[in-house]
Amino acid sequence: MLEAHCKECERIEENCMFTAETHHILAKRQKRWFVILQLVPAVTSALLGTLVVGQVVPRWVGIIAVVSAIVTAIGTVMNPQQGYFEHLNAAKAFTTMKHDARALREVFGVGTTDKEFAGIVKSLHDRYNDLVRLSPPTEDWAFEKARQRIRRGVHKPDAEG
């Protein structure tokens, strides 16, 4: 019975590793969209608007400022920064759970009775399921990219290498 609980800890650890990496990839993408759709157009609008009002550049340059302002408005509605933080927080939560599962299996589970260990693993399993339910959805391409990164050894601790 104890072996089955250790395997469940390993399974949770592995699932968390893949899911955390997937959320990190999606967070990075959302951050990129934030820069493209909100930050760059907002700065462009402000600078060009100032130059047009100050009559430093021709008035037609104001059209570029208007287009930049429209892109900023669209980016604000899409709110990629919110997606960034949602995925980043999910990635951190899955990483923490990965470490909890490993520590339980390798350190904290040692010396507990089978019944105590089973209860702790059940609690960890329930936390994992709650985290999956509360996390933002992921995309297949991001999971595949995460799997490739992990296969290349991105998450191998130095002690194992």
Domain annotation covers residue 154: no
Torsion on CA atoms 92, 96, 124, 119, rounded to nearest 10? -160
Give the number of domains in the chain.
1
Domain annotation covers residue 29: yes
pLDDT classification of 1: cutoffs 50, 70, 90: low
Domain annotation covers residue 156: no
pTM given for the model: 0.79
Give per-residue pLDDT as tens, 25-50.
999 999 998 888 888 888 888 888 88
Domain annotation covers residue 160: no
For residue 74, pLDDT over 60 is answered with yes
Domain annotation covers residue 127: yes
For residue 145, the one-letter residue type is: K
What separation in angstroms does the CA of 103 have from each of 20, 29, 43, 65, 90? 17, 31, 47, 54, 20
Range 116-151 burial, b when 16+ CB lie within 10 A, else e: ebbebbeebbebbeebeeebeebeeebbebbeebbe
- The boundaries of the domain holding residue 51 are 2-149
For residue 99, pLDDT over 80 is answered with yes
For residue 136, pLDDT over 70 is answered with yes
Domain annotation covers residue 25: yes
Distance CA 19, CA 117 (A): 25
Angle at 84 between CA 90 and CA 72, to 5 degrees: 160
Q: Quickly count: other Cβ atoms within 10 Å of residue 95's Cβ.
A: 18
Would you state the structure tokens that stand for residue 68, as one six-digit string? 């930049």
Domain annotation covers residue 158: no
Q: What is the mean pLDDT of the chain?
A: 89
Residues in the chain: 161
Mean pLDDT of 125-148: 96
Domain annotation covers residue 159: no
